[in-house]
Amino acid sequence: MTDTPEQKTAPAVTRKPGNVWAELGPTLVFVLIYNVLLRFPEGDGLLTKDTALYWATGALIVMTIGVIVQKLVKKERIPPFLIVSSVLIGTFGTIGIVLQSKTFLFIKPTIINLLFAGVIFGGLAVGRNVWKMFFDGAFQLPDFAWRTLAIRWGLYFVALAIWNIILWQFFSEETWANWRLGNMAIGFVFALANVPYTLKHMLPSEDADEAA
């Protein structure tokens, strides 16, 4: 079933509960397993306080793959950002677990966010607005508005990359791990903060057809 003009111009500010839980699920499982393993004693062995981060990362990888499989089964569109982040999560997470090196796990969010920022700003530099390409089907905006949103989100990803380094270097592992929930809250608030700007520059359906 094709979308009507009214549906295409409506901003995607709400999501189906299933989609929301698909995004929250892997992070919640990561935090839950990490904190459960923290209750175990220190020392050598598979289930110890020292291996909490590895078990949590393994669960995150499995849950992320599960989200993609679920979307494939339901024949839903898989967002490009999800594909890229899943590959990086799986790659760096697996390397960190196999080598028993937490450095790979700590640096992973910074690399992912810098990659997203690089794709956005690199696209703008060559005249390609990647942000518009990803979300043009959700709602119609003039090019200058798409550019503004792209710059905002690019800077957001850069800020997250820097913040991850600060957490990693100056705070405890426990703080770093649990702050994943904080990052999700920040992302939600940032997206919400951009809704007024998006609504302000929404094109009526007839204008959107002319622009196309």
Helical axes 173-193 vs 52-73, angle rounded to 10°: 30
Q: Does residue 194 have a pLDDT over 60? A: yes
> Please, which pLDDT band fits residue 82 given cuts at 50, 70 and 90?
confident
Query: How big is the chain, counted in residues?
Result: 212
Q: Calculate the alpha carbon distances from 95 to 18, 47, 90, 91, 102 in Å.
A: 31, 19, 8, 6, 9
Q: pLDDT tens for residues 14-43?
A: 445 445 566 688 899 999 999 999 988 776
The full set of domain ranges for the chain reads 5-211
What is the average pLDDT across 42-71?
A: 87
DSSP string, 110-147: HHHHHHHHHHHHHHHHTT--HHHHHHTTT----HHHHH
Rounded (5°) CA angle 6-201-135: 65
Q: pLDDT tens for residues 110-145?
A: 998 999 999 999 999 999 998 888 876 677 889 999
Model-level pTM? 0.80
Alpha-carbon gap, residue 85 to 78, rounded angstroms: 12
